[in-house]
Amino acid sequence: MDKKVYIETYGCQMNVADSETVLSILKTKEFEPVVTIDNADVVILNTCSVRDNAEQKIWNRLDFLKGLKRRKKNLKVGIIGCMAQRTADKLLEHIAVDFVAGPDAYRSLPDLINETDIELKTHNTEFDIEETYSGIVQYKQSDKEISGFIPITRGCNNFCSYCIVPYTRGRERSSSYTDIIHEVKDLEEKGYKEVTLLGQNVNSYFYEDEYRKVDFPTLIQMVADAVPNMRIRFTTSHPKDISDDLIDTIAKYKNICNHIHLPVQSGSNKVLKLMNRKYTREWYLDRINKIKETIPNCGLSSDIFCGFSGEGEEEFQETLSLMQEVEYDSAFMFKYSVRPGTAAAKKLEDDVPEEVKVERLNRMIALQNETSLKSNKNDIGKTFEVLIEGFSKRSKEQLFGRTQQNKVVVFTAEGLSRGDIVFVEITEVSSATLKGKIVKP
């Protein structure tokens, strides 16, 4: 009888894609994916280690699973992903954990799980610089999904001083462009309307074989040509690698969404240097200006955090002024937390008091809320192409979807369903949402 496996995913879109890869690997080895924990023989937590609160969620969840294992004596619990790579020994000490696997060890999961029938605990956290999981068609738990994710790179070579990723996911490597095209076309055949190309730094993608050399602008053009009726998105970009060729390619293709997520992290050259971000404020703003000139209706979002080592009020004000100059549509904002094992943890003092971090974060959020509202107000009267994602959370009489610029739109319509593309004129807004009415294109 197949063992039933349930997986919970924490963290970024890359982890969502990794969970689908894991399920695909397990399914070929006589494991049956299930969608509820109550039916599971094996529970896997796919973890994130980017911020401390992400790891705290896992420890809290393990305390729950400890109680569940008392009631289900044969239940196996495993931890995979970045936290598994970083804290394997500590995790294995927890009474609830039976096996641990790092991001490069997912092919070994069937054996690890089976080994727990013989041994009490087991693990594999070996790095594999060749591993990309290229060619594994991800397992989709629902046939109702319309948006899919395809990892095109793994690992990272940037070594930002605050970031744990190079130490948990290893050095950067790219998947075969032929495998990527195959996966994208597989999603199209399954009815998907949108695909997001994923990587810690997607725009440094590079793959060379005996036939050709393919960089990211070339790859995204190949994908857009291969599935002209699908929306194409990508994340995350590193500012140092946003090229004119990439920006021009986005402008050229109607099915490459006009949205770029470009994490700035700080607006201060002093802090950027301490972060080892490898670009300056001036370079970043030059890239933003190039985007705005070439793609006038491009949505812009970012990651920004405050309270890093050496950030005084003057440096923080530079971040606020950059936010005002760029005018992001949205941003993910955080206060700095030291990640053990990083260069910053080893070499830089965490010298900004916690109460100052909280106060600065609140100022950042207040500014971004104002900017988001201003951006949305500018959309009133405009018409956008919207991919319907489902019913609004507040009302089953309303649908919601996203524009190419990645803004959420709520509207009333009959006879339409998830996956349909409509044109919506914006009539009212909040800082987070657009509202409108369907119009003819």
pLDDT in tens, 14-28: 999 999 999 999 999
Instruction: For residue 186, name the pLDDT band (cuts at 50, 70, 90).
Output: very high
Tell me which of 216-225, 320-329, 415-424 is least confident: 415-424
Tokens of 125: 């956290």
Q: What is the pLDDT of residues 146-158, one digit of tens each?
A: 999 999 999 999 9
* Average pLDDT taken over every residue of the chain: 95
| Dist CA 370 CA 9 (whole Å) | 32
Q: Are strands 213-215 and 206-208 parallel, antiparallel or unpaired?
A: antiparallel
| Dist CA 216 CA 222 (whole Å) | 10
Percent of the chain with pLDDT over 90: 89
Q: Hey, what amino acid is at 402?
A: R
pLDDT at 140 over 90: no
Q: Are strands 122-124 and 299-306 parallel, antiparallel or unpaired?
A: unpaired
Q: Hey, what amino acid is at 336?
A: Y
Q: What is the pLDDT of residues 319-373, one digit of tens each?
A: 999 999 999 999 999 999 999 999 999 999 999 999 999 999 999 999 999 999 9
pLDDT at 62 over 70: yes
pLDDT score recorded for residue 413: 85
| Dist CA 371 CA 302 (whole Å) | 13
Q: Hey, what amino acid is at 10?
A: Y
Classified as helix, coil or strand, 163 is coil
- The residues facing 235 across adjacent strands are 198
pLDDT at 1 over 70: no
pLDDT at 440 over 90: no
Q: What is the pLDDT of residues 246-257, one digit of tens each?
A: 999 999 999 999
pLDDT score recorded for residue 429: 97
Q: Are strands 173-174 and 147-151 parallel, antiparallel or unpaired?
A: unpaired
Q: Spell out the domains of the chain, with CATH numbers in brackets.
A: 3-124 (3.40.50.12160), 147-377 (3.80.30.20), 383-439 (2.40.50.140)
Instruction: For residue 135, name the pLDDT band (cuts at 50, 70, 90).
Output: confident
Tokens of 408: 């959420």
| Dist CA 383 CA 440 (whole Å) | 10
What backbone torsions phi and psi does residue 270 show, to the nearest 5 degrees?
-60, -45
- What is the average pLDDT across 118-137? 90
pLDDT at 272 over 90: yes
pLDDT score recorded for residue 53: 85
Classified as helix, coil or strand, 399 is strand
The answer to whether the pTM exceeds 0.95 is no
Percent of the chain with pLDDT over 70: 100
Can you give 196-257 as a three-state secondary structure string?
Answer: EEECCCHHHCEEECCCCEEEHHHHHHHHHHHCCCCEEEEECCCHHHCCHHHHHHHHHCCCEC
pLDDT at 267 over 90: yes
